[in-house]
Amino acid sequence: MKFDYNKSLGQNFLKDNNIINKISDSINPKTDDLIIEIGPGSGALTKHLINKSADVICFEIDKRLESILSEIKADNLKIVFDDFLKINLKDYINSKYNRLFFVGNLPYYITTAIINKIINESNPYEITIMIQKEVALRFMASPHTREYSSISVFLQYNFDIEKICNVSKNCFEPIPKVDSMVIKLKRNKKIKSKNEELLYKLIKASFKQKRKNLKNNLNNYDLLKIESLLNNRNKTTKCRAEELSVDDFVYLADNL
Ligand code: SAM
């Protein structure tokens, strides 16, 4: 494809049909669901998404792609040329839709901002994203590993995370510096915390300084109470945040 790729917009277009098929095959909406694609680029994935029975809305920031994307004709497709981070998602999510399926080969520098926006402004059923491999490993990390961080706990509290496939950097044009991974975040049915506001604050504070223990990182909270709660779970405030499971954090938030 002859196109002047804009590096600052994270424009690395997927050219490997095998990967495109794998992503598409993993998305299975019904007629009354809505697919939202972020950054369709030249429409490699969009062309597959329109063959699903659901409506598809794409958000693409780069107006130069209009002539290419306008060649994709389908009654169930709407393409909005705007910055996904600036639009009001609620304006596009009609109550007639049952479940929301988000999908995107995301520009890496705004991966977290996009996920936060989706979670804050909608109730996603499923988010299928291609992201930098290292970041994907952090999202899926288990306790007691170097990669386990506040984002792992936050996402695993809300979603079951499944790896779809690894993607070599050679599958893109132009070739980026890093390898990627496609993962699916699926809203889980875990019992939710009675105090999510406190839960999120505790997660953030506990990982504030990764090398320090909970006693240091949670010194703004009632440490005696935290000690006794952690003892109930065979842990102490001398532990580091990476030793606590998602359930440990929920237990703390619900009982503090
Ligand atoms: N989906 C295409 C593919 O897989 O070949 C393109 C993926 S490319 C990594 C990222 C796309 O997101 C580009 O088309 C870029 O222009 C678009 N993009 C970047 N920032 C955006 C934003 N804030 N809102 C919407 N689209 C954005």
Query: Domain segments of the chain: what residues?
Result: 7-187, 196-255
CATH number at 196-255? 1.10.8.100
pLDDT on residue 90 = 94
Q: At what angle do helices 150-158 and 246-255 cross, to 10 degrees?
A: 80
Mutate to test the pocket of ligand 1, among 38, 58, 85 (most ligand atoms within 8 A of CB): 38
Expressed in angstroms and rounded, the spacing between residue 229 Cα and the centre of ligand 1 is 45
* Token output for 10: 């994270």
Closest of 9, 72, 2 to residue 39, by C-alpha: 9
Q: Indicate which atom in ligand 1 lies nearest the CA of residue 15.
A: 5
Element at 169 (helix H, strand E): none
Instruction: Work out the number of other CB atoms within 10 angstroms of the CB of residue 57.
Output: 18
Under 8 Å between Cβ of 1 and 65: no
pLDDT digits (tens, 9 = 90+) for 88-121: 999 999 889 999 999 999 988 999 999 999 999 9
43 lines ligand 1 (CB under 6 A): no
Nearest-CA residue for atom 23 of ligand 1 = 83
Whether residue 243 has pLDDT greater than 80: yes
CA of 87 to the centre of ligand 1 (A): 15
∠ CA 133-136-137, nearest 5°, is 90
Model confidence at 2: pLDDT above 80: no
Helices (H) and strands (E) in the chain, counts: 10, 9
Statement: residue 78 has pLDDT above 80:
yes
Supply the residue whose CA is at minimum distance from atom 6 of ligand 1. 41
Q: Is the CB of 113 under 6 A from ligand 1?
A: no
pLDDT at residue 1, as a whole number: 65
Ligand 1 centroid to 217 CA: how many Å?
37
Average pLDDT over residues 16-38: 97
Give me the pLDDT at residue 3, please. 86
Instruction: Please name which of 97, 120, 116, 122 lies closest in space to residue 30, comparing C-alpha atoms.
Output: 97
Ligand 1 pocket member 36 (CB < 6 A): no
Whole-number Å distance, alpha carbon 197 to ligand 1 midpoint, is 32
CATH topology of domain 7-187: Rossmann fold (3.40.50)
